[in-house]
Amino acid sequence: MPELPEVETTRRGIDAIIKGQALRRLVVREPRMRWPIPADLPALLAGRPVLATDRRGKYLLLRFEHGVQIVHLGMSGSLRRVGLDEAPRKHDHVDWVFDHAIFRLHDPRRFGAVLWHPADTGPVERHPLLIGLGIEPFDPRFDGKWLHDQFRGKRVAIKQALLAGHAVVGVGNIYASESLFRAGIDPRLPAGKLSGPRCERLAQAVRATLTDALASGGSTLRDYVGASGEPGAYFTIHAAVYERAGQPCRVCGTPIRRIVQGQRATYFCPHCQKR
Ligand SMILES: [Zn+2]
């Protein structure tokens, strides 16, 4: 599943190419995504310049003068730059056609979304999909004190509290396991029991883990933009615990354990990560 680093890598990839450029055509081949793509969207956007690109959580935002296009890659989506005469294939649902580039949304499972937020309905941050999102991990306000406040009184396991996205966005299943390993925290610890200093370590670990992922995502970026939905370079090169059950911890050699929390797999080192 594309996570925050993949979406941010995608954003950086398209930003340099489309910012300030007029969108010539939006081609919708399949409007039945997670929510239907509004039928009038191609007419609304034809000829309009993209003023800026942004990201909030895993939502990609294309800002136009008269509104914001909200794009989500769902479970299996990718946004890829294709050749100007490249024929669409199966599951290629939407094209953004510019003078010198075409970006194509490919999404076999169609859990992704392409929505429109008109400027006259207020800031896009107030959109129902965005308003409940936690703070961004690279926001300067995100630190140990922030996490400590968010987790106060919470009995849910720290791994699940991170994954929920209310305290901080973008820490998906892989990055939750990796961040907790880096911070030396047992994923089963109730979130409310985490001390201030350990919250600080966790905040730093979250940022460092996502920074590493962004660095490896950015280095593979050429004409292919963003996530394939398959495990990317990050896992194969850097994962300390994720999908390494039974293999020796890279720090202490203890076999990595796999458990299931809230129906999601969690990986951790029972020696390095303390309760
Ligand atoms: Zn270990």
Residue 23 within a domain: yes
Give yes or no: residues 86 and 148 share one domain: no
**Whole-Å CA distances, 230 to 2, 3, 75:** 8, 11, 10
What is the reported pLDDT for 72? 94
Give yes or no: residues 122 and 193 share one domain: no
Residue 79 within a domain: yes
Listed residues 62, 96, 126: the one ending a domain? 126
Total domains in the fold of the chain? 2
Structure tokens at 170: 């973008």
Write the single-letter amino acid at 256.
Answer: I
Residue 136 within a domain: no
What is the reported pLDDT for 213? 85
To the query of whether residue 3 is one of the catalytic residues in this protein, the response is: yes
Separation of alpha carbons 211 and 154, rounded Å: 27
What is the reported pLDDT for 76? 82
Model confidence over 170-182: pLDDT tens digits? Answer: 898 989 999 999 9
Across the range 225-242, mean pLDDT stands at 57
To the query of whether residue 6 is one of the catalytic residues in this protein, the response is: no
Across the range 118-122, mean pLDDT stands at 96
Do 6 and 216 touch, CB atoms closer than 8 A? no
Residue 273 within a domain: no
Binding site for DNA: what residues are annotated? 91, 109, 154
Distance from the alpha carbon of residue 208 to the mean position of ligand 1, in angstroms: 19
Q: What is the DSSP string of 44-94?
A: HHTTPBP-EEEEETTEEEEEETTEEEEEE-TTT-EEEEE-TTPPP-TTEEE
* pTM for the structure as a whole: 0.85
Residue 240 within a domain: yes
CATH of the domain at 18: 3.20.190.10
To the query of whether residue 58 is one of the catalytic residues in this protein, the response is: yes
Give yes or no: residues 249 and 152 share one domain: yes
- pLDDT of residue 224 exceeding 70, the answer is no
Separation of alpha carbons 3 and 59, rounded Å: 10
- pLDDT of residue 217 exceeding 90, the answer is no
Binding site: what residues are annotated? 91, 109, 154
Give yes or no: residues 159 and 119 share one domain: no
Residue 69 within a domain: yes
Do 114 and 95 touch, CB atoms closer than 8 A? no
Separation of alpha carbons 54 and 74, rounded Å: 17
CATH of the domain at 251: 1.10.8.50
Residue 131 within a domain: no
- Of the candidates 55, 58, 244, 257, the residue annotated as catalytic is 58
Give yes or no: residues 75 and 161 share one domain: no
Do 71 and 114 touch, CB atoms closer than 8 A? yes
Domain with 187, as residue range(s), is 144-268
Give yes or no: residues 205 and 257 share one domain: yes
Residue 275 within a domain: no
Give yes or no: residues 105 and 149 share one domain: no
Distance from the alpha carbon of residue 243 to the mean position of ligand 1, in angstroms: 15
Higher pLDDT, 211 or 185: 185
Distance from the alpha carbon of residue 151 to the mean position of ligand 1, in angstroms: 25
- Of the candidates 3, 6, 8, 200, the residue annotated as catalytic is 3
Distance from the alpha carbon of residue 157 to the mean position of ligand 1, in angstroms: 20
What letter does residue 224 receive in the DSSP assignment?
Answer: S
Model confidence over 6-39: pLDDT tens digits? Answer: 889 889 889 989 999 999 999 999 999 999 999 9
Listed residues 126, 159, 190: the one ending a domain? 126
Distance from the alpha carbon of residue 230 to the mean position of ligand 1, in angstroms: 27
To the query of whether residue 145 is one of the catalytic residues in this protein, the response is: no
Model confidence over 249-267: pLDDT tens digits? Answer: 999 999 999 999 999 999 9
